[in-house]
């Protein structure tokens, strides 16, 4: 099989998608990989070994996982805490950014907080489950840390609850002092070239989700059949060779077209030009960057730009805030900023909730669970996820693997017991 694979300039998170696709396919042997690299990506040559390449590269910077101090949140929460009942915070999305934020909130507020953690899937952990490669089990070990956070009695995990489908953001805001959006980047950038929506052309996100057992990708048509001899050229990709030149004398080098073109026949074409977040109704969105804009983690409101007015009680973290860049540890640093913003606003958040609900305060996760039950939403609690986890690990053990994922939501819910 000949496969053409575009891995554009994304040196960390989304570039990883390209690298993983390359690895996954290269492991399956008689595949021939062609990689078009319009800009820097030294890691790719290591990942892909002898795959023929076009264009070329500069460097890859690995950022270290962040040191994990708690002081800013603790101080602000202590200063603004008081004894007037618990702070109810809802975190939407249980990927690394969501979990690190919950962890920060717990450490900062101590016993003065109750956190509701939502995910649209019955399963937690976001891209740690559906992005990080199956052969990188060490990286997935962070799940243990996240599981300790979720098992904390101050945390209510509700899986299979999608904001915008099962519950509206306005309802979450009414039930909590603050809402933190951490629902990641679940769409794709596009090259904007003819033919990219055709059969045999997939995004790296779709492909990564498919081989990681994400339920949204289980029906994806991925033809990995091996062609004998020359591949049947279902698709052809026209590429222009690049040369690296300084932008201006003494300036940074950049890849520019050479005017020399190739046509590559291929059976499967994977675009890896970046992930992109989806907008949520009622929340400001920057369509160009594909993120929710923010002022130090606070979502901007309709008021004056200077000083920047922010949407009351709404915060953002992770890939939804920064765009699809950074490793898992980058989200820990980011979560520190977001949780610190919530903590610093505690007094204002409490006053707003009191004006709305009186001294009793908002109903939090308990109120949300009741609302969902009334709607017939089959929300998965942490115990339900643990049952599914045990089921998958046992099925994996029987098949000589780490785990055998359940990929169909109905079956997941059955195993979760909801």
Ligand X SMILES: Cc1cc2nc3c(=O)[nH]c(=O)nc-3n(C[C@H](O)[C@H](O)[C@H](O)COP(=O)(O)OP(=O)(O)OC[C@H]3O[C@@H](n4cnc5c(N)ncnc54)[C@H](O)[C@@H]3O)c2cc1C
Binding site for ligand X (CB under 6 A): 13-14, 16-17, 20, 92-98, 118-121, 126-127, 131-132, 136, 139, 162-164, 182-184, 186, 208, 318-319, 326-328, 330-331
Q: What is the distance between the terminal CA atoms of the chain, rounded to a whole angstrom?
A: 43
C-beta of 161: minimal distance to ligand X in Å?
6
Distance CA 360, CA 347 (A): 16
Q: Least distance in Å: CB of 306 to ligand X?
A: 29
**Shortest distance (Å) from residue 308 CB to ligand X:** 23
Is 266 within 8 Å of 273 (Cβ atoms)?
A: no
170/165 Cα distance (integer angstroms): 13
Q: Which is nearer to ligand X, 81 or 315 (CB)?
A: 315
269 CB-near residues (< 8 Å, 6+ apart): 3, 4, 5, 6, 200, 201, 202, 235, 237
Q: Considering beta carbons, is residue 134 or 231 the nearer one to ligand X? A: 134
How many other CB atoms are there within 10 angstroms of residue 223's CB atom? Answer: 11
Residue whose CB is less far from ligand X, 11 or 326: 326
Q: In whole angstroms, how close is the CB of 344 to ligand X at the nearest point?
A: 22
**Residue 272 or 346 with smaller CB distance to ligand X:** 272
130 versus 242: smaller Cβ distance to ligand X: 130
Q: Note the maximum CA span of the chain.
A: 75
Q: What CA–CA distance (Å, rounded) separates 167 from 397?
A: 37
Closest CA to 139 of 318, 319, 404, 329: 329
> Smallest distance, Å, CB 211 to ligand X?
10
Report the residue closest to ligand X, judged by CB.
95
Task: Please compute, for residue 108, the number of CA atoms within 13 A of its CA located in the half-sphere on the CB side.
Answer: 35
By beta-carbon proximity to ligand X, the closer residue of 41 and 208 is: 208
In the bound state with ligand X, the residue whose beta carbon lies nearer, of 119 and 345, is 119
- Go through 232-259 and write b for each residue having 16 or more CB atoms within 10 A of its CB, e for each that does not: eebbebebeebeeeeeeeeeeebbeeee
Query: Considering only CA atoms, which of 173, 192, 193 is closest in space to residue 181?
Result: 173
Shortest distance, CB of residue 317 to ligand X, whole angstroms? 7
Minimum distance of ligand X from residue 241's CB (angstroms): 28
120 contacts 162 by C-beta, under 8 angstroms: yes
CA distances from 369 to 147, 266, 372 (A): 20, 49, 5
- CB of 291: closest distance to ligand X in angstroms? 11
CB of 16 to ligand X, least distance (A): 4
Between 71-80 and 328-344, two packed helices, what is the crossing angle to 10 degrees? 20
Residue closer to ligand X (CB basis): 109 or 157: 157
The smaller minimum CB distance to ligand X, of residues 264 and 342, is found at 342
Tokens of 304: 């004056």
Q: What is the DSSP-derived secondary structure letter of residue 195?
A: T
The number of angstroms, rounded, from the C-alpha of 68 to the middle of its chain's C-alpha atoms is 20
Comparing CB distances to ligand X, the nearer of 166 and 242 is 166
Q: Which helix (H) or strand (E) holds 275?
A: strand 275-276
Q: How far is the CB of 354 from ligand X (least distance, A)?
A: 28
d(CA 168, CA 404): 33
Dig out the tokens for 319 from the structure. Answer: 């890939």
């Amino acid at each position: 099989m000949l496969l053409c694979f575009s891995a554009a300039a994304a040196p960390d998170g989304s570039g990883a998608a390209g690298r993983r696709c390359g690895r996954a396919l290269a492991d399956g042997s008689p595949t021939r990989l062609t990689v078009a690299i319009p800009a820097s990506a030294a890691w790719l040559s290591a990942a892909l070994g002898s795959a023929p390449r076009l264009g070329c590269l500069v460097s890859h910077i690995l950022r270290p996982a962040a040191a994990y101090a708690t002081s800013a949140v603790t101080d602000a929460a202590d200063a603004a805490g008081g004894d007037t009942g618990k702070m109810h915070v809802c975190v939407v999305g249980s990927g690394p950014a969501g979990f690190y934020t919950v962890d920060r909130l717990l450490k900062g507020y101590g016993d003065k907080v109750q956190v509701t953690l939502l995910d649209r899937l019955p399963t937690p952990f976001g891209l740690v489950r559906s992005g990080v490669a199956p052969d990188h089990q060490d990286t997935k070990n962070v799940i243990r840390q996240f599981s300790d956070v979720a098992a904390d009695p101050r945390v209510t995990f509700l899986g299979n609850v999608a904001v915008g489908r099962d519950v509206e953001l306005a309802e979450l805001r009414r039930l909590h002092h603050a809402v933190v959006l951490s629902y990641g980047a679940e769409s794709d950038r596009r090259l904007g070239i003819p033919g990219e929506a055709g059969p045999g052309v997939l995004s790296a996100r779709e492909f990564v989700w498919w081989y990681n057992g994400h339920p949204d990708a289980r029906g994806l048509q991925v033809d990995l059949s091996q062609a004998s001899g020359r591949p049947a050229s279902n698709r052809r990709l026209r590429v222009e060779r690049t040369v690296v030149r300084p932008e201006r004398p003494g300036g940074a080098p950049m890849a520019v077209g050479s005017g020399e073109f190739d046509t590559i026949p291929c059976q499967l074409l994977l675009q890896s030009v970046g992930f992109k977040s989806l907008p949520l109704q009622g929340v400001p969105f920057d369509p160009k960057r594909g993120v929710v804009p923010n002022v130090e983690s606070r979502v901007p409101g309709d008021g004056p730009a200077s000083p920047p007015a922010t949407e009351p009680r709404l915060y953002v973290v992770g890939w939804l805030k920064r765009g699809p860049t950074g490793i898992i540890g980058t989200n820990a640093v980011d979560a520190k900023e977001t949780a610190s913003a919530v903590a610093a606003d505690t007094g204002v958040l409490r006053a707003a909730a009191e004006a709305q609900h009186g001294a009793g305060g908002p109903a939090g996760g308990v109120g949300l669970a009741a609302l969902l039950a009334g709607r017939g939403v089959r929300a998965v609690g942490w115990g339900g996820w643990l049952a599914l986890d045990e089921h998958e690990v046992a099925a994996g053990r029987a098949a000589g693997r780490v785990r055998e994922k359940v990929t169909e939501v109905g079956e997941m819910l059955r195993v979760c017991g909801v």
